[in-house]
Amino acid sequence: MAPNETVLVEVADGVARLTLNRPDKLNAFDETMHRALHAALDEARWDETVRAILLTGAGRAFCAGQDLAAVDPRQAAGEPDLGETLEKLYNPLIRLIRDIEKPVVCAVNGVAAGAGASVALACDLVLAGRSAKFIQAFCRIGLIPDSGGTWTLTRLLGEARAKGLALTGQPLDAETAAAWGMIWRAVDDDHLMDEAGKLAASLAAGPTIGLGLTKRAIQAAATNSLDAQLDLERDLQREAGLTPDYAEGVAAFTGKRPAAFTGRR
């Protein structure tokens, strides 16, 4: 993978580590970083040597959302069309993260604000350093939570907490985010990258197809009826049962040895 200056890409031991890299702007999204992240995720999606993705930010923040200097309405020629930015850049990014059938781990290394918080919460397993904060900053500038934020917050937290965060813009600390079930874990800042790296490495050594199908099933549960979900589980389990990793998993269990999954079909 070619490195890009706004998103650093490192692939090792089955993990693609993508680092948002505009630290002087707290990794706020401009169009270049958007395109670089999308391209890096897409490449990791189809690279068979990549079996897990780890997303983080350079410097003291994870991501401060949209680069507000890049879209200053006072500088714009005509009326701003923020719907177009979402349609063109943010929505495809969120859909891509959700559609990648490999685990996507997010290491929130500092503040995650606006769409930066939404991007983090679109990932499958979110770890955050104890000093990290999640800020629904949109209300401070007259916007609504986007990039799936209204959907994700409401599903993860329920309406009361989603509205509390989105209408007040109050920062939520990592410990409370974990206690509320918004993220997987809060860890000491000094251990964040180590813990996130270990988690991504263990996922990368897992039964990749089965993990990808699990992701698909859990995501579908948000909108499916129980009947539809039972049917989906039947179909996906049929698919999982045809993978060499299923045969290996059972052989390893009966042979009382660790499984050596390949992640292949």
H-type helices in 55-144, by residue range?
82-85, 91-99, 115-122
Provide the token pair at 58: 């350079």
Q: In angstroms, give the least distance from the CB of 89 to ligand T3D.
A: 8
- Out of 64, 106, 120, 172, point to the residue binding ligand T3D (CB under 6 A): 64
Q: In angstroms, give the least distance from the CB of 157 to ligand T3D.
A: 19
Provide the token pair at 20: 């948002």
Cβ closer to ligand T3D: 52 or 115? Answer: 115
Question: What phi, psi does 135 have (nearest 5°)?
Answer: -125, 120
- Out of 20, 44, 52, 67, point to the residue binding ligand T3D (CB under 6 A): 67
- Interface positions, 19-38, toward ligand T3D (CB under 6 A): 25-26, 28
Q: Which of 43, 48, 78, 28 minimizes the C-alpha distance to 212?
A: 48
| 114 burial level (CB within 10 Å; 0-12, 13-18, 19+) | buried
How many residues would you count in the chain?
A: 265
- Interface positions, 140-169, toward ligand T3D (CB under 6 A): 140-141, 143, 146
- Out of 71, 156, 193, 220, point to the residue binding ligand T3D (CB under 6 A): 71
Q: Is 121 in the site for ligand T3D (CB under 6 A)?
A: no
Site residues (CB under 6 A) for ligand T3D?
Answer: 25-26, 28, 64-69, 71, 82, 85, 111, 113-115, 135, 137-138, 140-141, 143, 146
